[in-house]
Structure 1
């Protein structure tokens, strides 16, 4: 028997241990059999993790190479990726650190001006999993991030993904209490599922595993990375002929926002759009679709 402590730590007191495909689930909105969920990670690290190891005992440990990479993402990368999405007329979700909204609010406003969904990724990516001493401290950090993004974007934020994404045992309760509609913290199911937290409902839209982020693909080069992504997509697409499937690709604006890597996203979207029965959905559309049918 699973101990009560483990049940709480795993959040099995809220999350289903065995997510299922509902009998009603025959297709995605609009009749698609394959849902592609693109996530753009617009992150900021107040103390950037060094891109190269710092010498032992170095007097100056602040890594301006790593800082410059994040600055590039906010100044150029996010705009280039928004252009890619716009060219292909697809909708995606941009998950942003709250600190980005404080430092580069114009980039956050541009996300919404282009019609893409905006969600929160916590305040700061410098430490993940983040270390909180109390539930209140974690809640305050999430509120701080959400407030900054809402101030910059001018509208409510309803989606959440923890840094990492590695939630704490308290995260699910906090974000549900705060009224979030969806979470992308869990990589445990082929399909979305509904979570009931003390009578309030939130949808797990799922993250990328066992698919890919651009971190995985960069070492393979443009052609190798694209082939890996296409092969993974094809496997899910083949299965979608038996039942609806979901495919998620997440890319960081400071990595995929550079000219070479942006071509990988551009060419992948074009590849997926050639297939019949494929639709592109922001996380909120997946969540609302599930809530309409499972949340009654």
Structure 2
């Protein structure tokens, strides 16, 4: 892609997810979901580690390694933890939007409900950081058919709910164009560790397998995401692997570079 300094862009993202008071993560470390209608307070407490502890540890690692990231934040967490939002911005990172709550899926909402939640998400992040969020990733990465149009109308620069390309591209909507940033799942703690039960070291092993072999694949340019959740790999066992992964990526600087979605969206808009 024009503007890429090196063929393989490694985008670093931190998911900072919250659930509304009447909900909890549908999956957690205990493994056995509670029966319908019962609020899983263990899963809620597990998730709350993210804004209380995990995000701060990940911020420290990013600062020490001098890596810039996009934090995808639930609007309700921006409202509840403004001091954390301030620290993220002060560290040189970007606060993007990740829906109002992780249990609110745009594809299940009416047009009015989705527009309402988008508006309050923008307001909460802007109030906490001093600027509206420039990018968006839906909860579960599952938008509605109208999400891109709503984002373009609201002035967002990029939308990351796309899985059909190796490279960013301009996505045309009835409300104007927005950059479609591809989101890859291969180096992501949620499927690797939580869903598939792989050991933490798999995170770095998968990353190195892809990056080391990239020149052999033929196509010169592409994007690969390095994604952690503050309530999952913000814990010590995962944070160690996050450090290992970033340090491993830097061993392949001949053809790979650490970046973030905001930078990729900017390159797409100017190319």
Asked whether the two chains share a fold, i.e. TM above 0.5, the reply is: yes
Contact 2:137/2:160 (<8 A) preserved? yes
SS at match of 1:280: strand
Query: Matched residues in 2 for 1:142 and 1:185: separation?
Result: 15
* 1:156-215 deviation line (CA, Å, top 9, x unaligned): 211011111001011111111111110101111011111122362210111114x23102
Worse-matched range after superposition: 155-164 or 175-184: 155-164
Distance apart, 1:237 and its partner CA? 5.2
Contact 1:26/1:243 (<8 A) preserved? no
Query: Matched residues in 1 for 2:149 and 2:63: separation?
Result: 36
For residue 114 of structure 1, what is the aligned residue in structure 2?
91
Among 266, 272, 278, which residue is 2:256 paired with?
278
Query: Matched residues in 2 for 1:129 and 1:91: separation?
Result: 28
Q: Which has the larger radius of gyration?
A: 1
Query: Matched residues in 1 for 2:191 and 2:36: separation?
Result: 31
For residue 41 of structure 1, what is the aligned residue in structure 2?
15
In structure 2, the CA distance between the partners of 1:242 and 1:143, relative to structure 1 (3 Å rule), is same
Among 167, 170, 183, which residue is 1:191 paired with?
167
Contact 1:42/1:97 (<8 A) preserved? yes
Contact 1:208/1:248 (<8 A) preserved? yes
Query: Matched residues in 2 for 1:237 and 1:255: separation?
Result: 32
Matched, 1:70 2:32: no
For residue 222 of structure 2, what is the aligned residue in structure 1?
245
In the alignment, structure 2 segments of 5+ residues that lack a partner are: none
Query: What is the Cα-based RMSD across aligned positions, in Å?
Result: 1.9
Aligned residues: 262
Among 74, 92, 101, which residue is 2:78 paired with?
101
Distance apart, 1:263 and its partner CA? 1.0
Contact 1:205/1:283 (<8 A) preserved? yes
Query: Matched residues in 2 for 1:250 and 1:208: separation?
Result: 9
User: 1:1-296, aligned counterparts within 5 Å?
Assistant: 25=1, 28=4, 31-46=5-20, 47-50=23-26, 51=28, 52=30, 53-56=32-35, 61-128=38-105, 131-133=108-110, 135-198=111-174, 200-209=176-185, 211-218=186-193, 219-236=197-214, 238-239=216-217, 242-275=219-252, 276-293=254-271
Please give the TM-score of this superposition, normalised by the length of structure 2. Answer: 0.90
Contact 1:159/1:180 (<8 A) preserved? yes
Distance apart, 1:88 and its partner CA? 1.4
Contact 1:27/1:244 (<8 A) preserved? no
In structure 2, the CA distance between the partners of 1:217 and 1:57, relative to structure 1 (3 Å rule), is closer
SS at match of 1:274: helix
Query: Matched residues in 2 for 1:231 and 1:64: separation?
Result: 38
Query: Matched residues in 2 for 1:202 and 1:289: separation?
Result: 13
Distance apart, 1:231 and its partner CA? 1.5
Query: Matched residues in 2 for 1:201 and 1:216: separation?
Result: 31
